[in-house]
Structures are given as structure tokens and as C-alpha cells.
């Protein structure tokens, strides 16, 4: 999708952080944009930021944990713009590790981070196929989807899952002219550390907590992280050039290479692959 002008993008978690930055990047490319977000006031503020810019940007409330909410938001985008071409399943929340998180908290993180992506694909895929102009899904994962350094946590679990389903989706949709990118950022300056502000009533009140030293360090890394606009520029490029993996932090390459080497070392213990043995 090299020419984005005149096409439409739909972005969940679009009122702040990476989502809002993607909205600006797409709007700057001449796209119409629908911002979808669970927070009414930040959504209003985000829309106000586009006033007078000449960009065609609208907003719709959306709780990605509920399919009916995503379906409603998708229809609002179609009603407003006629066709949607780029769908950014970006909304996400963070969590603590498994030793300190309840089953209800697990369900909250999974419903937002993983099922939010599933809901976005389910709501939009028939539409992208039907209009025949091609399209692109951008699913926000994380380097935590490759490097489980934060431990046994629902956040890690969901990000690994988003990477996996995105890889499968890309293979499945290639013949339809629909691309897929999986965004795997490292530390980005967003307010994800304050995810509890968006916790839906269905999951109950989040328990009071005192930040551990590790969590304090993570919060600092996020605060001083990469600018969302720089991430968004990489995403727009990936959509235009149909790139699947969108990595953002070069310094995270070495630990990823070490992880891949552990895989290969385990395979080498099995001996040569069958075709190598025959040769």
C-alpha cells in the first residue's frame, strides 16, 4: 500500500501514545483516520489536536475487550469514510508478574492485549476482503513477545501470542492482497505504566500495590523511552512496504540473537536434519 492518500486508517488506543502517533503519521500521509479509544476525555483532546490541520480525523469510543464494542466502532468508521484499509490493533495494558497477579487480572490483560487483536481482525477482515482494494493489519506486540525478561506474566503471554497469530495471519491473507505487520517496540515513552486508569468495571478494582524496584526501573525506562512519533514513522513505512516485523530498538538485537542460538543449540543436540544426513 505505497499510496496511502485518500485511504482510511482505524487505530485502537488512538487517544495517546503510539496509537495517537500512528494517527498523526497516517494523517500526514493524506489518510482519513478513525481514532478508537476507551477514554472519553483523552479522545476529545486527541481530536482537538487535529483541528485546523486540514486532516479528516474522527473518533469513536471503543473497549477492545468487548467484541460488540469493536464491531460498533468498525461500523462507525465504515459509515463515516465508506472504506477502511489499515487497521491498527494497538490498544494494550501492562501487568505485574504471575506471583502477584490474580486470575481476574490475567483475564483483563488477555482480554485487552490478545482478544483486542482478535476482535479487530474479526470485525474488519470481511470488510477488507469485500472492498477489494487491499489492506493492512498492524498488530501491536512488544519485544516482550520475543524476550520474556519480565518473567512469567500475562503481558509476556499476550505479546508472544500476538506475534504468533500475526505470523499465521500474514500467511493466510497474502493471497488476498492484505498485508500484516507486527509492531514489536522496546521502551517507548507512553503512559502504559498507568494502565489501571482504563481498567473496566467488569474486572473489579485493581488491588493497591507498592512498586517493586524492578517496576520502578521499568517505569523510568518507559518515561525516557523512544518517542512515539519515531515508532509511528516505522509503522507507516512498514505498511507502505509490506514489512512484517517492525522492530524499533537496535540494542535489543543481541539478546534476541542469543535466544535464537539457544534454539539452534538444542536442535544441534538432535544431530543433522534428515536431508543433511542423506547428503
Q: How far, in Å, CA of 37 to CA of 16, rounded?
A: 9
Are 45 and 72 within 8 A, CB to CB? no
For residue 57, what are the β-bridge partners? 33
Query: pLDDT value at position 208?
Result: 63
Instruction: Estimate to the nearest angstrom the gap between the alpha carbon of 140 and the chain centroid.
Output: 2
The Cα–Cα gap between 230 and 24 comes to 11
The pLDDT tens digits along the chain (279 residues) read 889 999 999 999 999 999 999 999 999 999 999 999 999 999 999 999 999 999 999 999 999 999 999 999 999 999 999 999 999 999 999 876 666 678 899 999 999 999 999 999 999 999 999 999 999 999 999 999 999 776 678 999 999 999 999 999 999 999 999 999 999 999 888 877 677 788 898 988 776 665 566 666 666 766 657 899 999 999 999 999 999 999 999 999 999 999 999 999 999 999 887 775 554
Say how far apart CA 141 and CA 138 lie, in whole Å: 9
Look up cell 509490506; give the residue.
242
Residue 87 is placed in which grid cell? 487497521
Calpha distance 148→145 (Å, rounded): 7
> What's residue 114's pLDDT?
98
**Nearest Cα residue to 214 out of 110, 97, 114:** 97
Q: How many CB atoms lie within 10 A of CB 237?
A: 13
Neighbour order of strands in the sheet with 32-37? 57-61, 32-37, 8-12, 86-89, 135-140, 178-184, 245-247
Q: Which of 177, 164, 187 is nearest to 247 (CA)?
A: 187
| Residues annotated catalytic, as ranges | 155
- Select from 3.40.50.720, 3.40.50.1260, 3.40.50.2000, 3.40.1360.10 the CATH code of 8-252: 3.40.50.720
- Asked whether the CA dihedral 12, 13, 17, 20 is positive or negative, the reply is positive
Cα–Cα distance, 239 to 232 (Å, whole number): 11
For the chain, domain boundaries? 8-252
How confident is the model at residue 279, as a pLDDT?
47
Amino acid at each position: 500500500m505505497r499510496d496511502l492518500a485518500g485511504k482510511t486508517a482505524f487505530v485502537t488506543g488512538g487517544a495517546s501514545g503510539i496509537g495517537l502517533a500512528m494517527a498523526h503519521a497516517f494523517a500526514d500521509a493524506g489518510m482519513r483516520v478513525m481514532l478508537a479509544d476507551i477514554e472519553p476525555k483523552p479522545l476529545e483532546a486527541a481530536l482537538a489536536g487535529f483541528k485546523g490541520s486540514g486532516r479528516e480525523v474522527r473518533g469513536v469510543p471503543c473497549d477492545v475487550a468487548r467484541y460488540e464494542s469493536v464491531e460498533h466502532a468498525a461500523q462507525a468508521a465504515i459509515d463515516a469514510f465508506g472504506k477502511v484499509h489499515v487497521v491498527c490493533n494497538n490498544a494494550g495494558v501492562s501487568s505485574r508478574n504471575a506471583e502477584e497477579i490474580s486470575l481476574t487480572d490475567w483475564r483483563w490483560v488477555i482480554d485487552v492485549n490478545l482478544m483486542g487483536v482478535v476482535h479487530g481482525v474479526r470485525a474488519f477482515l470481511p470488510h477488507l476482503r469485500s472492498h477489494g482494494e487491499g489492506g493492512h493489519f498492524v498488530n501491536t506486540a512488544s519485544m516482550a513477545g520475543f524476550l520474556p525478561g519480565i518473567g512469567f506474566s500475562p503481558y509476556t503471554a499476550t505479546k508472544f501470542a500476538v506475534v504468533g497469530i500475526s505470523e499465521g495471519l500474514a500467511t493466510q491473507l497474502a493471497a488476498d492482497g492484505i498485508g500484516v505487520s507486527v509492531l514489536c517496540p522496546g521502551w517507548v515513552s507512553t503512559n502504559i505504566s498507568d494502565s489501571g486508569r482504563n481498567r473496566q468495571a467488569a474486572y473489579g478494582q485493581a488491588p493497591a500495590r507498592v512498586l517493586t524496584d524492578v517496576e520502578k526501573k521499568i517505569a523510568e525506562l518507559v518515561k525516557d523511552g523512544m518517542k512515539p512519533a519515531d515508532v509511528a514513522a516505522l509503522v507507516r513505512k512498514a505498511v507502505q512496504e509490506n514489512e512484517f516485523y517492525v522492530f524499533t530498538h537496535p540494542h535489543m538485537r543481541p539478546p534476541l540473537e542469543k535466544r535464537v542460538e539457544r534454539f539452534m543449540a538444542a536442535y544441534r543436540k538432535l544431530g543433522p536434519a534428515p536431508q543433511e544426513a542423506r547428503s
